Amino acid sequence: MSNLSKNSPELKCVKAKDYCLSVRDGTHDSPKPVDIGFPLVTSKHLKSGQIEINACYQVAEDDYYEIVKRSKVNQWDVLISMIGTIGEVALVKNEPHFAIKNVGLFKSRSEADGKWLYYYLRTDFAQNYLREISRGTTQQYVPLGSLREMPIYVFDDKSEMSRIANILGTLDDKIENNRKTAKTLEAMAQAIFQSWFVDFDPVRAKMAGESPESICKRLKLTPEILDLFPNRLVDSELGEIPEGWVDGSLGNICSRRSARIGNRDAKVLSAVTEGRLAISDDYFTKRVYSKDIKNYLAVEWYDFAYNPSRINIGSIGMLESHFLGAASPVYVVFRPVEGYQQFIKLYLRLATTKQWIANFSSGSVRQSLSYDDFAAIPSVIPPKVIIDVFSSIHDFMKHSTDSLYECAIKTSGLRDAILPKLISGEIRVPGLDDGAG
């Protein structure tokens, strides 16, 4: 920290309590959760510069106003995690309507000051300081007094600080917009799946006598796609399904795989809570698999895998990359019938499917789901011709989604590379008039 100003003589050090209007923390009480109220943000809800409001529980109005008497959060304030995971920061960009618990609160004097502080706290300089002042053995924490004394490096020229924050903010906006657009495309794919294969909207519209032109306009279909759907529903054990579609189960469109890795090179995979297969070495901080993986199950492109003893957390994932994966011998690996890969992936996300999994899972303490039980989960089986059209639409959307996420990753790398150099003064950002003769 003491060497930071050597990069630029114009950098000076001030204490956080002097840079900010005040430095506080949230409530230390534990107000009871309610169904409808105000979100209570804790340290665990600060991740990657974001506040995960949807993951917070709600507190009653009286509790909310009692908390904000002591630690009201305003727009452009900066929050920092100070218990458990230390040093996660978030800039409050919009007028907030939440309370905080065990979270550090830097009260900003202005938008520009808040943005500078937010980016400064993300540098290695600031993060190293937070690690140095942390306390606790079982659970780490940062004392509030130490946060108030925290050194903040600033330029004499406030306008340069503003320019730096604007550069970094522009990159952050690009990252956020790419991720939002990607999530919108993912939601659109799920909505099409719901409309075609769960609600049977094209079939019901035909049955209701709606004109083809109206159906195509409303459901965003081409006449050729609309023609693929029948015009009536028939009774089945699953309820009403489109005429000509099969009343079956997942076992009709997938089969179990038992091939082993042997001497082949493979990346060990783990099914994680997000419902995907992650490369274990990338996802975990330490190795969670055996040195010898010869007996591991082979997972190839578009294969699914899950740990049957952890099925209660919904961790069934599909390998969507072109490499050979390896799954623990305790896993179940299955392969969809060609063309039905995306259908199964989205079918597994349905609440009804998750309920079937819960119903079939055995064990009161540690639930387990065998492949036979998984294969018995009921499912309507659409004709291959409709599946092929859906897969084509889905693949186009996924390609766009992957490109957006890749762009976000590259932009994040650029931001992270220049952030410390901008904050330290190694890279200067002169104004338009600087150096003019």
pLDDT band at 162 (very low <50, low <70, confident <90, very high): very high
Q: Which residue has the tokens 């901008």?
A: 422
Tell whether 91 is covered by a domain: yes
Looking at the structure, tell me whether residues 58 and 134 fall in a common domain. Answer: yes
Question: Considering its fold, how many domains does the chain have in total?
Answer: 3
Higher pLDDT: 154 or 290? It is 154
| Whether the predicted pLDDT of 432 surpasses 60 | no
Question: What is the model's pLDDT at position 312?
Answer: 56
pLDDT band at 365 (very low <50, low <70, confident <90, very high): low
Question: What is the model's pLDDT at position 4?
Answer: 63
Tell whether 5 is covered by a domain: no
For residue 215, count CB atoms less than 10 angstroms from its CB and return exposed for 0-12, middle for 13-18, buried for 19 or more. buried
Looking at the structure, tell me whether residues 188 and 283 fall in a common domain. Answer: no
Q: Which of 121, 153, 185 is the last residue of a domain?
A: 153
pLDDT band at 311 (very low <50, low <70, confident <90, very high): low
Tell whether 28 is covered by a domain: yes
Measured CA to CA in angstroms, residue 183 lies from 177, 179, 398 at distances of: 10, 6, 10
Looking at the structure, tell me whether residues 34 and 147 fall in a common domain. Answer: yes
CATH label of the domain that carries residue 172: 1.10.287
Higher pLDDT: 6 or 154? It is 154
Looking at the structure, tell me whether residues 361 and 415 fall in a common domain. Answer: no
pLDDT band at 437 (very low <50, low <70, confident <90, very high): very low
Looking at the structure, tell me whether residues 366 and 263 fall in a common domain. Answer: yes
Give the lowest-confidence range in 158-172, 256-270, 303-317, 370-384: 303-317
Looking at the structure, tell me whether residues 41 and 99 fall in a common domain. Answer: yes
> Taking Cα atoms as reference points, which of 11, 8, 9, 78 lies closest to residue 46?
78
Looking at the structure, tell me whether residues 38 and 79 fall in a common domain. Answer: yes
Q: Which of 129, 153, 177 is the last residue of a domain?
A: 153
Looking at the structure, tell me whether residues 372 and 395 fall in a common domain. Answer: no
Tell whether 82 is covered by a domain: yes
| Whether the predicted pLDDT of 436 surpasses 50 | no
For residue 322, count CB atoms less than 10 angstroms from its CB and return exposed for 0-12, middle for 13-18, buried for 19 or more. exposed
Question: What is the model's pLDDT at position 250?
Answer: 97
| Whether the predicted pLDDT of 259 surpasses 90 | yes
Sort residue 241 into left (φ over 0), alpha (ψ -120 to 50) or beta. beta
Looking at the structure, tell me whether residues 281 and 208 fall in a common domain. Answer: no
| Whether the predicted pLDDT of 302 surpasses 70 | yes
> Taking Cα atoms as reference points, which of 309, 239, 225 lies closest to residue 271?
309
The SS3 of residue 412 is: helix
Sort residue 436 into left (φ over 0), alpha (ψ -120 to 50) or beta. beta
pLDDT band at 137 (very low <50, low <70, confident <90, very high): confident
Tell whether 348 is covered by a domain: yes
Looking at the structure, tell me whether residues 278 and 370 fall in a common domain. Answer: yes
Tell whether 236 is covered by a domain: yes
Tell whether 257 is covered by a domain: yes
| Whether the predicted pLDDT of 109 surpasses 90 | yes
Q: Which of 344, 362, 381 is the last residue of a domain?
A: 381
Question: What is the model's pLDDT at position 363?
Answer: 61
pLDDT band at 385 (very low <50, low <70, confident <90, very high): very high
Percentage above 90 pLDDT, the chain: 81
Averaged over 194-218, what is the pLDDT? 98
Averaged over 260-276, what is the pLDDT? 90
270 bridge partner residues: 278
Percentage above 70 pLDDT, the chain: 94
Looking at the structure, tell me whether residues 18 and 144 fall in a common domain. Answer: yes
| Whether the predicted pLDDT of 93 surpasses 70 | yes
Residue span of the structural domain in which 37 resides: 14-153
Averaged over 189-217, what is the pLDDT? 97
Looking at the structure, tell me whether residues 368 and 399 fall in a common domain. Answer: no
Which run of H or of E encompasses 100? Answer: strand 99-100
CATH label of the domain that carries residue 332: 3.90.220.20
